[in-house]
Structure 1
């Protein structure tokens, strides 16, 4: 596989995992949500991240979500399946499942119980990458994984592991993106994973924006991406600042609680998050509803 075998651009959306009244995965609602996300401009779909409650799904449920998404999308846009496991063995197992069901790439977030050295992280990616013939997106999100990968380590893996082809940077530090670009001579595509940095990240040259926001605010993120593609910075700023209150709320309120509450407000009840995660509190729900109404009024 060459570094340019598959290219991903634009808005990469995380769908939630809907649950029915008995706590099982609601496949029809997942399919309905996927269709909505594609129709409103998502350029790729990335199931089974933190938004999709991957950590709280058993193997059968995880496989069901992966296969449902791949089948429903049916090659219309790329599918990047999230892999986040404490052990390399389990990460490889799920990476192979993602490949078997037809995913186009995997997004690998190393999770830490013991603090891992750079060598241990490097070997974790080597082992996963060797086990599948899929492009691998490095995912750096120290807030959720307990691991903070330096730009130097990320670029080293890109240069050394053939099917590591891209990186999602979610530390919230725009300087990381600049450093990745410089260290890789602008050869490593990087993707923004921090909602409030969307404007700065695109300005820095991000290839895409990985976000759960389209679940709630439809095509707004895609409009921002299109403005940058058209090199209309004035419009991009305007679109970004209209979205920013909700983007910040999503970040601070936690995923998937905010997304599920917002979907319910929009008339699409997908159940509560799985315990131990709480649903959004009533004051927070009310605040989110106000923000959604304000953005809707701006659109009209």
Structure 2
């Protein structure tokens, strides 16, 4: 059984004025998401600024999310690292808190060969009993996990069950599904490609867009899976300009700005990320308003 089908939100990590994690606000965001149809909470991913959280903050965010969600939807923890031992440590801790699954990004900066990727993921998977979704995002990591590598891991490691594919290469997604014979839980990692990925056998998205439009992102997937391809396609196309605005600067700069425009007061991103350029902020506000998302 898949960890989830539908739209999982790659939730932001809110900070207060002192740049500390604002757990009360995180709880508010979680409740907003669940009330508006989100199918899973993904905590401490790229959008959650995991790279600038201390290990203590990282783990506390995961623990808090598990307790706050309280089994209402699945919780998936981002516990990847470019150090295999660190990823194992974070994954084992997250398992002890009661998460439902793990999202493991490919190693970044030091990268890895395809052989190294197999060794990395196998070691992490063997350290826990939780289902694992691999995360391929070469634009950020400089490391592309090839379809043959994905297929090898899925076939040979029992608890590696899925992939968040954010290469932006639809031919690569098709080859993954071909080589795995569809025996993988495929999630789009690109909001602009939700429907194309679903058309190849995907079962959902791990989404930035869901932070600001949870119900509509959920509906986009649900309608497709129900066979209402026209409504799903129309939602995809409707949100393309907003998706483009959400990625006109490095994620999560725009999505945190969008949530602030919506009145959520999630704070600023941590350095080295900085606040959004005024012209881009105005563009973002306009696109939110065009999608009937209220701003303050």
3-state SS of 2:239 partner: helix
Counterpart Cα distance in 2 of 1:99 and 1:18: 23
3-state SS of 1:46 partner: strand
Alignment partner of 2:58 out of 49, 57, 62: 62
CA spacing shift, 1:83–1:297, aligned 2, 3 Å: closer
Matches within 5 A, 1:88-99: 88-99=84-95
Counterpart Cα distance in 2 of 1:179 and 1:110: 19
Matches within 5 A, 1:26-105: 26-105=22-101
Matches within 5 A, 1:123-272: 123-272=119-268
CA spacing shift, 1:33–1:297, aligned 2, 3 Å: closer
Aligned residues: 294
How far apart are residue 252 of structure 1 and its match? 3.1
Counterpart Cα distance in 2 of 1:227 and 1:29: 31
1:284 corresponds in structure 2 to 280
- Uncovered stretches (5+) of structure 1, i.e. residues with no partner: none
CA spacing shift, 1:28–1:119, aligned 2, 3 Å: same
CA deviation profile, 1:60-82 (whole Å, cap 9, x unmatched): 11111101111111111111111
Give the TM-score taking structure 2 as reference length: 0.96
Counterpart Cα distance in 1 of 2:215 and 2:111: 39
Counterpart Cα distance in 1 of 2:39 and 2:214: 13
Counterpart Cα distance in 1 of 2:67 and 2:121: 27
3-state SS of 1:171 partner: coil
Q: Is the 8 A contact 2:82 2:110 kept in 1?
A: no
Counterpart Cα distance in 1 of 2:123 and 2:112: 15
How far apart are residue 297 of structure 1 and its match? 7.6
CA spacing shift, 1:262–1:102, aligned 2, 3 Å: same
How far apart are residue 7 of structure 1 and its match? 3.3
CA spacing shift, 1:270–1:232, aligned 2, 3 Å: same
CA spacing shift, 1:229–1:113, aligned 2, 3 Å: closer
Q: Which runs of 4+ in 1 moved over 4 A?
A: none
- Uncovered stretches (5+) of structure 2, i.e. residues with no partner: none
User: Would you say 1:121 and 2:117 are equivalent positions?
Assistant: yes
Counterpart Cα distance in 1 of 2:274 and 2:37: 30
Counterpart Cα distance in 1 of 2:55 and 2:111: 26
Give the TM-score taking structure 1 as reference length: 0.95
How far apart are residue 187 of structure 1 and its match? 1.0
How far apart are residue 115 of structure 1 and its match? 4.0
RMSD: 1.4
Q: Is the 8 A contact 1:168 1:190 kept in 2?
A: yes
Moved more, 104-113 or 69-78: 104-113
How far apart are residue 114 of structure 1 and its match? 2.9
2:271 corresponds in structure 1 to 275
CA deviation profile, 1:88-133 (whole Å, cap 9, x unmatched): 1111010011101111110111223334111111111111011111
Q: Is the 8 A contact 1:217 1:292 kept in 2?
A: no
Counterpart Cα distance in 2 of 1:229 and 1:114: 38
